[in-house]
């Protein structure tokens, strides 16, 4: 079956590394034209390396709505109407938050600004064009932490819960205009953000309790993931591409876990 993504215009926010980059590669493999938004200073070079003709990189700070709106206009100038949005930009607090009182209220502000307000800014910039054309998809990359209240990084967990909720709000609001909105929740994925979680945990352990990243991860996988293995960025990207395609034409307002069975709802 064909995804019908060839020649479509796609924006991947946070697409310079990790899950976002895997999503960019997935859309390029389907023949789409992809604009990568990221705060990384090398985003233009990253995009050119991936595909010089069909991939453009723009430096965008999602906390700034004017910058987001300008990037949306530049993206459409390059590749025409944006038919698909993937939002994979997020940060953690960089603190180990169990219990939450280890953190200060000041540790929350930037996480919420990037992870929640950034999502809001991007949605407000992209949704009107999709509504006008009565066609489009949005996929937001959240986390299983947004469903289970993971204590490791409370600001991050709370922001991911907000991502899931706002995506559901948008799905209801935009369904009548032919726009589908879904959320994908990764579980244990080897990304820079995941490694930062380990580092913040490890820094607070006694010498006897410290673990290498691989040891820590193996213990968590054994404890938490029924399938017993890491999820890869490509596993998440495959679901994102599917949800963006015509193969998921009747799927909207859903929160789909790519987590090896970590979270199972009865």
What are the pLDDT digits (tens) for 187-200? 988 777 777 777 77
What are the pLDDT digits (tens) for 85-128? 999 999 988 777 677 888 899 999 999 999 999 999 999 999 99
- What's the confidence (pLDDT) of residue 266? 45
- Please state whether the peptide bond connecting residue 99 to the residue before it is cis, i.e. omega within 30 degrees of 0: yes
3-state DSSP helix/strand/coil % of the chain, to nearest 5: 50, 15, 35
Point out the catalytic residue in the list 79, 156, 198, 201.
156
Average pLDDT, the chain: 93
Quickly list H helices, the chain.
Answer: 18-29, 43-50, 65-79, 109-112, 118-133, 145-148, 154-174, 192-202, 213-224, 233-244
- What's the confidence (pLDDT) of residue 188? 86
Rounded to whole angstroms, how far apart are CA atoms 230 and 156? 20
The percent of residues above 70 in pLDDT, for the chain, comes to 98
- Fold for the domain defined by 9-190+232-258: Rossmann fold (3.40.50)
Distances (CA, A) of 151 to 76, 77, 227: 40, 43, 23
Q: Please report where in the chains the tokens 């890491």 appear, as a residue.
A: 230
Rounded to whole angstroms, how far apart are CA atoms 93 and 112? 9
The answer to whether residue 213 is catalytic is no
Domain ranges of the chain: 9-190+232-258
What are the pLDDT digits (tens) for 123-177? 999 999 999 999 999 999 999 999 998 778 899 999 999 999 999 999 999 999 9
Q: What is the pTM of this model?
A: 0.92
């Amino acid at each position: 079956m064909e995804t019908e993504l060839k020649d479509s215009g796609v924006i991947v926010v946070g697409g310079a590394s990790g899950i976002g980059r895997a999503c960019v590669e997935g859309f390029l493999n389907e023949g789409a034209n992809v604009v990568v938004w990221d705060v990384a200073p090398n985003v233009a070079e990253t995009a050119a390396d991936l595909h010089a003709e069909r991939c453009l990189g723009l430096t965008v700070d999602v906390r700034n709505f004017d910058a987001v709106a300008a990037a949306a206009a530049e993206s459409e100038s390059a590749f025409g109407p944006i038919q698909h949005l993937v939002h994979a930009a997020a940060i953690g607090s960089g603190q180990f938050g169990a219990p939450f009182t280890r953190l200060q209220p000041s540790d929350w502000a930037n996480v919420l600004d990037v992870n929640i307000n950034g999502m809001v800014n991007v949605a407000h910039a992209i949704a009107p064009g999709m509504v006008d054309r009565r066609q489009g998809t949005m996929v937001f990359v959240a986390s299983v932490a947004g469903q289970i209240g993971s204590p490791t990084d409370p600001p991050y967990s709370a922001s991911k819960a907000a991502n899931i909720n706002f995506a559901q709000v948008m799905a209801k609001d935009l369904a009548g205009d032919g726009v589908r909105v879904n959320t994908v929740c990764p579980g244990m994925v080897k990304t820079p953000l995941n490694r930062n979680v380990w580092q913040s945990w490890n820094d607070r352990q006694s010498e006897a309790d410290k673990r290498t990243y691989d040891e820590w991860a193996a213990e968590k996988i054994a404890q938490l993931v029924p399938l017993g293995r890491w999820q890869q960025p490509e596993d998440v990207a495959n679901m994102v591409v599917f949800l963006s395609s015509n193969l998921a034409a009747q799927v909207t307002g859903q929160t789909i876990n790519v987590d090896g069975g970590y979270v199972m709802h009865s």
